[in-house]
Structure 1
Amino acid sequence: MMERLRLLQRRARIMARRHGPHAMIWRRRVAILSGAVLVGLTALLFAELADRAGGIFHHMVAWCWWLPLIITPLGFAAFAWITMKLAPAARGSGIPQVIAATRNPEAGMKELVSARTVFVKFWLTIGTLLFGASVGREGPTVQIAASIMGYAHRIMRVPLRASVFIAGGAAGVAGAFNTPLAGVAFAIEELAAAYEQRMTLLVMAAVLIAGMVSLGLAGDYVYFGVMRQTLSVGDALVAAPVAGFFGGIAGGLFSRLMLASGRTNFAPVAWLRARPVGMALGCGILVALVGVATGLTWGTGYEAAQAIITGKDVPLWFGPAKFLSTLATAASGLPGGIFAPSLSVGAGIGDILGSLFPGYPQGAVVLLGMVAYFTGVVRAPLTAVIIISETTASRGLMLPLLAAALVADFSAQLVSKERLYHGLAKRFAVPPA
């Protein structure tokens, strides 16, 4: 009898260790829940502050058109210096850092997604929008969200795995765009080199919770506004491949130039690359000149992209001008992402393509250009299709968008075989775990 009682007590202790309130499974669930909620709140705060910063800059330009010729180059140089001194891992998009951190999570937490790095990233990205840099907040949100999820697991004493950063980054995409499905697709296509089945629950839970927080506080808004135009089968069979080919070539060219800016031995670029502040100053001058000349290429380009989608008159040169401004900003090394500017460039390319198909619904052709160019840059066709369809409520175009994205993914490889974020991640290499 006593032996049986001791056996029952031992089983009870084992069950308590495995399933009690202090068990690993519950600590992991608390880490996921708390981390995802905090990611959603941070994404909303980041979006609000970034939008205000962009608005302040536009007010300054309206007050004094030539002011960017002074403050933009000086701001580029100053922020490049601050980034280099305070947190070198805060430069650029943030997505390559998360990819690099997944290869050794413990080492990644020390710098690539450390609290210091993401704190600097948060404020400097907002600062770059104050002086007109062509950046977005989505890539930085991914890096910040991965850090939040990592610290949530550390606080709960849960071992760090690559899946923690993947889940955090995916939740960041969901919170930034208010698009939970895009977060899942982005985790599968871009952040995880090999998606493991055991990651499924963690990623899905983090994305859904962050998405619920964003939807609950910001409402069920559509990022670019509702676009109801569709294409007939015949129109789609013609327009989707053409848009996919040219958009993919343009996106691949951006990737190739961006990767080359950090590797080329071309003497002037190599000389500037060895002097980061000078490089940023030169890029800032270029961004200022293009911005003052056009008046449209500042910041994320959201307003111009929305105007193109809704059929308002935007000059056909907007796409190439925004391409140049975004490339210069990205090459400068300033903290800031390329998601939103790439969508704006894609809208400009779609506007150009629309002139080739005068009888087609122009808004639909613009979306084909957006998805094609975005796919060419990030090489994640499923993510591109879901982001475009969710940010424009254009679900009737899902098949043409997918066709254009697949063609773009192929054509981009003709120009740049290496994927942009994975190529940039090599600059943040950490020793394997």
Structure 2
Amino acid sequence: MPRSNPLRWTPARYRALLRSRGPQSVRFRTRLAILLGAIAIGLAATVFALAADAAGEMFGRFAARYPYAPLVATPLIFAGLVWITRRYVPLARGSGIPQVIAAQGDPEGATHSLVSIRTVTGKALLTLVAVLGGASVGREGPTVQIAAAVMGLSHRLLRVPLRGAVLIAGGAAGVAAAFNTPLAGLLFAIEELASAYEQRVTLLVIAAIVIAGMVAQSVQGDYVYFGLIGAHMSLASALFVVPVAGIVGGLAGGAFSRLMLTLATGSNRITRQAKAQPILFAALCGLVVGALGCATGLTWGTGYGAARAMIAGHDAPLWFGPAKFVATLATAVAGLPGGIFAPSLAVGAGIGNILRSVFTDSPSSAIVILGMVGYFAGVVRAPLTAVIILAETTNSRGLMLPMFATAYIADGVSALVCREKLYHGLSRTFEMRREA
């Protein structure tokens, strides 16, 4: 029986190949959009990080020169930020992660609302002003929303369809670039942003994270967020410290999430008054933050400096953790733009600082890190992300097993205090607004 002729590259076949995979094809333009979007995310995250650090330093100098001025300035800034946010960019309030979660339901529509360039530009500027006002906010949550918007813009410019997976990839790349933690970005996408594990989503996330991370590192250098700590803990110590850190961190983190969701979505008296008079409520929250900052001198901003000092083994007041908890909660419920990632790590460091006064024979750095893992896992309810973020930001991979145990204990305890995940619960408020 004669064999068929081999495949011939005719002009028609070549033109068909160009249409399906060439520069004008949807496949090629989609990959180009992800490449350009990831590069832009790395640059945007770097610029935003440098600006936020500069704003924090400016406020530090202001508070040092005029110690009691924030008692007036911080409430006024809180009130002004909430007024501007509600009037001009209402979808920029809060962390930014709930917006990305909500945007997955309608990615194309979200580029004109939840993750529009207008929204994230306002988000970035207002978050910087919040840092200038001493608010207990982080830049990581806003970076996620900014990154998702950048990825959406790159797809619009190249005229390719936008899927929810692309927003996940952008948000995860934002986490990776903000903390210089590529593995944490991947796990955060799977645990928190994506509702299920999908191979196509993961491949997009990996590509975006690698590119954004390389761009960020090329500008900022290959740094470790909290420094090269390299903490370790013996099995004998871990058997005692881990359960306590997990339970305490889970209880505190669950309490924070429950209070946040109650004040954001509940129908209690405080929530009704806050919705009826949002500007006044924001000013009162600012007064709480200002009073705590003036009284302690440590609860301003992200709390990065205090957390790093405690990880390095320096002594800190035992009240730091509870005070930072209140300052972060007051900032978060005020309704102004800003994230809770970095402040939550600082609260966790404060919890670890309390625990190391109990477990005096165990390595202090390791205990503080376990406190951070426990509290962060309790708030975010993403135990894998909590472990990898702390492992990558402190170079403490030798502490991985105790951190995993602490995170999963904290996650279980937190679920008993607050059944709903914080970011998913907050995302419902944006879904309702979008549909309205």
TM-score of the superposed pair, with normalisation by structure 1 = 0.97
Name the counterpart of 1:233. 235
- Which residue does the alignment assign to 1:22? 24
Offset at 1:277? 0.9
Task: Find the aligned partners of 2:15 and 2:134 in 1 and give their Cα distance.
Answer: 61
Indicate the residue corresponding to 2:114 in structure 1: 112
Aligned match for 1:368, one of 360, 367, 370? 370
Between the aligned partners of 1:320 and 1:195, the Cα distance in structure 2 is: 36
The partner residue of 1:98 within 94, 97, 100 is: 100
For structure 2, the 5+ residue unaligned runs are 1-5
1:325 aligns with 2:327: yes
2:197 corresponds to 1:173: no
Native 8 Å contact 2:265 2:429 kept in 1: no
1:254 aligns with 2:246: no
- 2: CA distance, partners of 1:102 / 1:194: 12
Q: Deviations over 1:31-90 (max 9, x none)?
A: 011100000000000000000101000101110100100100000000000000111000
Over 3 Å counting, the alpha-carbon distance change for 1:202 and 1:268 in structure 2 is: closer
Cα deviation 1:130-159 (Å, max 9, x = unaligned): 010000000000000000001101111110
**What is the Cα deviation at residue 200 of structure 1?**
2.2
Deviates more, 1:15-24 or 1:38-47: 15-24
Amino acid at match of 1:147: A
Q: CA deviation at 1:264?
A: 3.2
- Aligned partners of 1:272, 1:347: CA distance in 2, in Å? 30
Give 1:5 deviation, angstroms.
12
What value does the CA root-mean-square deviation take over the aligned residues? 1.5
- For residue 316 of structure 1, what is the amino acid of its counterpart? L
- 1:140 partner letter: P
SS at match of 1:125: helix
Match of residue 211 from structure 2: 209
| Superposition TM-score, scaled by structure 2 size | 0.96
- Whole-Å separation in 1 of the counterparts to 2:127 and 2:312: 28
| Amino acid aligned to 2:11 | Q
Matched, 1:348 2:321: no
Structure 2 distance, partners of 1:122, 1:418, is: 28
Contact 1:262 1:273 in 2 (8 A): no
Q: Which amino acid aligns with 2:353?
A: D
What is the match of residue 383 of structure 2?
A: 381
- The amino acid across from 1:261 in the alignment is L
- What is the distance in 2 between the residues matched to 1:48 and 1:9? 53
**Partners of 1:248 and 1:226 in 2: CA distance:** 26
The residue aligned with 2:3 is none
**Match among 205, 220, 223 for residue 222 of structure 2:** 220
**1:135-150 residue pairs with structure 2 within 5 A?**
135-150=137-152
Give 2:68's aligned residue: 66
d(CA) in 2 for partners of 1:410, 1:256: 14
| Shift in CA distance, 48/5, structure 1 to aligned 2, threshold 3 Å | closer
- Residues 1:279 and 2:281 are matched in the alignment: yes
CA contact (8 A) 2:188 2:385 kept: yes
Q: Could you tell me how far apart the structure 2 residues matched to 1:61 and 1:328 are?
A: 19
For residues 402 and 7 of structure 1, what CA distance do their matches in structure 2 show?
55
Distance 1:182 1:386 in 2: 5
Equivalent-residue separation in structure 2 for 1:421 and 1:227 (angstroms): 30
Q: How far is 1:7 from its partner?
A: 9.3
In 2: Cα distance, 1:153 partner to 1:7 partner? 32
1-structure distance, mates of 2:325, 2:12: 66
- Alpha-carbon displacement from aligned partner over 1:246-283 (angstroms, at most 9, x marks no partner): 10110000000000012333324421222211111110
Deviation at 1:6, TM superposition (A): 11
Report how far residue 166 of structure 1 moved. 0.2
Partner Cα distance (2:267, 2:158) in 1: 47
Cα 1:156–1:65, aligned 2, differ >3 Å: closer, same or farther?
same
Deviation at 1:198, TM superposition (A): 1.4
When residues 310 and 21 of structure 1 are mapped into structure 2, their CA distance, relative to the original with a 3 A threshold, is same
Q: Is the Cα–Cα contact under 8 Å of residues 68 and 292 in structure 1 kept in the other structure?
A: yes
Cα distance in 2, alignment partners of residues 268 and 382 from structure 1: 34
Instruction: Give the CA deviation at 1:9.
Output: 3.1
- Structure 1: which 5+ runs fail to align? none
SS at 2:10 equivalent: helix
Structure 2 residue identity aligned to 1:327: L
CA distance in 2, matches of 1:425, 1:200: 22
Alpha-carbon distance between aligned partners in 2 of 1:17 and 1:277, rounded to the nearest angstrom: 55
SS of residue paired to 2:346: helix
The alignment-based identity, stated in percent, is 59
Aligned-partner residue type, residue 134 of structure 2: G
